[in-house]
Amino acid sequence: MAKAYFAAGCFWGVQQRFSKLLGVTKTTVGYMGGTMHSPDYRSVCTGQTGHAEVVEVEYDAAQVDFATLMSCFFEWHDPTQINRQGPDIGTQYRTAIFPQSNEQRTQAQKKIDQLNQSDGHSKPIATTIETADKFWPAEDYHQHYLDKRGLSHCGI
């Protein structure tokens, strides 16, 4: 299985959407891109750790490719907003891709360049391409949060 890491605001709705894609075998919400060892939700919410709320997507590349995952990611949130999505504000809610390979990094940059050259957004794409460092899974109560509560969507 291949892996991809995406940050698009609150991770609950992003996880729910990725979980429903054909070829996605597992999703886990967590934290990436910060400096604190073993962060938790409370510390990440302070904005002091530098972590983003991230969804780890495990997928079968024979069924769904990274380009398709990226297209969904860019459709599901506003990639022009800096450090926020909807009512959620802070660096932990930034839009980012954490590539797992040079190929993913190249594809991500190409997609951002294409989006910036298109007429699809009134502002430049704010999505950053960040170094994929250690992924820290979030607390159990965050995993599949919306599904556990019978909620069909999140305001991302």
What are the distances in angstroms from CA 128 to CA 26, 95, 138, 144? 24, 7, 21, 25
Active site residues per annotation: 10
- Contact yes or no for 9/116 (Cβ under 8 A): no
- Contact yes or no for 57/27 (Cβ under 8 A): yes
The runs of H, that is alpha helices, within the chain are 11-19, 41-45, 66-76, 102-117, 145-148
Is residue 88 pLDDT above 70, yes or no? Answer: yes
For the chain, domains (ranges, CATH) are 2-148 (3.30.1060.10)
pLDDT band at 153 (very low <50, low <70, confident <90, very high): confident
Is residue 156 pLDDT above 80, yes or no? Answer: no
Q: pTM for the complete prediction?
A: 0.95
